[in-house]
């Protein structure tokens, strides 16, 4: 019994892109004969005027369902970016309409503003503001330091937080959907696969939506949580990790191995991949990459608040707090070393090296002063000799008239 023919992997991926489930950029350059909608002949070209209103300029980008041109609206005189469908399919038209509804519900300086949505010359369009000097996130952050990159990503997180507050989930955050203007201010673009309240499901049940490198585990598995803000928190964590370390946290040689790595959640810790990042900031980023959505931040607003608190701490980049157990071991070792040095007698002078004796400073000597001279004193006088007592008369002898008898001793 012969087995049915297998679909080549490349063809399967192209079918997913054609259905809007994968980004065509993941497949690399397409062949000239490819039937992908992104490679279809565009409905118009530079220099043409659609419906007597939109004067088309150069091609700015091309996706799975449409192309974006620089355009001038002759009716208002406003320059912008005109998004046109390249494949007039009912599902593609519905997606473009839903993207317009989501974009119209948002108003934030960090989001690309929608000017108008409608139909011209039989084609549906979205007319967005054009970001002056637009560069993708990867191009703009190439020459910036980590603090400058973090400043930029905080603005991106604030814009996504605005969308979450209004119930809108982007579901496809990646560097190519973040544009920086000439002054370095970021704008989040492309809500083509976004989700909002009161919107019908346009994706087949269990289908993966987004770009695999930035998709959360529940997006890959097609679970119900793929419409929650947690998927954007995951993608923001991937962006933060990549801007800090220079490489995405999850990698694979093909889509299957990449999906397996994302679902497992195993990745090099940021403390090892980017030791220059402060531990408090690294902890915030690591929390975004938890495989369980309940363990992540509930939305981008909570992520923004946690990141601001982490950056406000006085801890310097690259200086990390030691675990309490390791800190206790180090303190105990230092105390034992001090006791050991105090118990051992100092080495005798003969064992000291000559260089140590040579470096030893000489003791200080007090300047000698001559002894103070005492004033000369006159020689001491010798006491005068007392006259010798007169001899006592002997008994029985006669006494003279001038001598007195000596008193008797008692």
- Which pLDDT does position 274 carry in this prediction? 96
- Which pLDDT does position 178 carry in this prediction? 95
Parts of the chain belonging to CATH 1.10.510.10: 135-196+207-312
**Which regions in the chain score pLDDT beneath 50?**
1-13, 15-42, 202-208, 317-322, 356, 396-410
- Which pLDDT does position 53 carry in this prediction? 93
Among candidate residues 22, 44, 128, 21, the one with its CA nearest the CA of residue 83: 128
Q: Which helix (H) or strand (E) holds 325?
A: helix 324-343
- Which pLDDT does position 337 carry in this prediction? 74
163: burial class by Cβ within 10 Å (0-12, 13-18, 19+)?
A: buried
Among candidate residues 139, 291, 155, 302, the one with its CA nearest the CA of residue 225: 291
Whether domain 135-196+207-312 has CATH 1.10.510.10: the reply is: yes
Tell me the catalytic residues: 172
Measured CA to CA, the distance from residue 315 to residue 320 in angstroms comes to: 8
- Which pLDDT does position 188 carry in this prediction? 95
Among candidate residues 40, 362, 23, 318, the one with its CA nearest the CA of residue 173: 23
Q: Give the model confidence (pLDDT) of 239-256 as tens digits.
A: 999 999 999 999 988 999
- Which pLDDT does position 20 carry in this prediction? 43
Measured CA to CA, the distance from residue 43 to residue 35 in angstroms comes to: 15
pTM: 0.66
Q: Which CATH number does 43-129 carry?
A: 3.30.200.20
Which residues, 6+ apart, have CB-to-CB distance to 169 below 8 Å?
Answer: 163, 194, 195, 196, 227, 228, 229, 231, 232
- Which pLDDT does position 85 carry in this prediction? 84
Parts of the chain belonging to CATH 3.30.200.20: 43-129
Our CA angle for 256, 262, 267, nearest 5°, is: 120
């Amino acid at each position: 019994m012969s087995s049915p023919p297998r679909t080549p992997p490349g063809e399967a991926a192209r079918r997913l892109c054609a259905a809007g489930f994968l980004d065509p950029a993941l497949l690399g350059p397409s062949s000239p004969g490819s039937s992908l909608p992104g490679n279809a002949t565009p409905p118009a070209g530079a220099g043409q005027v659609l419906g007597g209103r939109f004067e088309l300029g150069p091609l700015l980008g091309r996706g799975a369902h449409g192309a974006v041109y620089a355009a001038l609206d002759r009716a208002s005189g406003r320059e912008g970016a005109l998004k046109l469908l390249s494949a007039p399919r009912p599902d593609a038209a519905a997606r473009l309409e839903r993207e317009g509804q989501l974009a119209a519900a948002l108003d934030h300086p960090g989001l690309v503003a929608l000017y108008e949505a409608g139909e011209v010359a039989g084609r549906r369009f979205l007319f967005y503001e054009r970001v002056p000097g637009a560069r993708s996130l990867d191009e703009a952050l190439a020459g910036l330091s980590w603090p400058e990159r973090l400043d930029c990503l905080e603005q991106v997180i604030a814009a996504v937080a605005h969308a979450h507050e209004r119930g809108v989930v982007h579901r496809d955050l990646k560097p190519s959907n973040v544009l920086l203007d000439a002054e370095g201010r970021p704008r989040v673009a492309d809500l083509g696969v976004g989700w909002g309240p009161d919107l019908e499901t346009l994706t087949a049940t269990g289908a993966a939506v987004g770009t695999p490198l930035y998709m959360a585990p529940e997006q890959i598995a097609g679970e119900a949580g793929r419409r929650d803000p947690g998927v954007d928190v995951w993608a923001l964590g991937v962006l933060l990790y990549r801007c800090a370390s220079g490489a995405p946290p999850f990698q694979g040689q093909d889509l299957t191995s990449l999906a397996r790595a994302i679902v497992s959640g195993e990745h090099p810790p940021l403390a090892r991949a980017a030791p220059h990042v402060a531990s408090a900031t690294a902890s915030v980023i690591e929390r975004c990459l938890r495989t369980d959505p309940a363990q992540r931040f509930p939305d981008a607003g909570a992520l923004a608040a946690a990141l601001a608190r982490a950056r406000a701490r006085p801890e310097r980049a690259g200086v990390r707090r030691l675990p309490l157990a390791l800190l206790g071991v180090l303190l105990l070792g230092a105390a034992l070393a001090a006791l050991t040095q105090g118990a051992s007698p100092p080495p005798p002078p003969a064992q000291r090296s000559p260089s140590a004796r040579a470096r030893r400073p000489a003791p200080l000597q007090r300047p000698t002063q001559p002894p103070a001279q005492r004033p000369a004193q006159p020689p001491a006088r010798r006491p005068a000799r007392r006259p010798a007592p007169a001899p006592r008369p002997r008994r029985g002898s006669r006494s003279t008239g001038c001598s007195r008898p000596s008193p008797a001793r008692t």
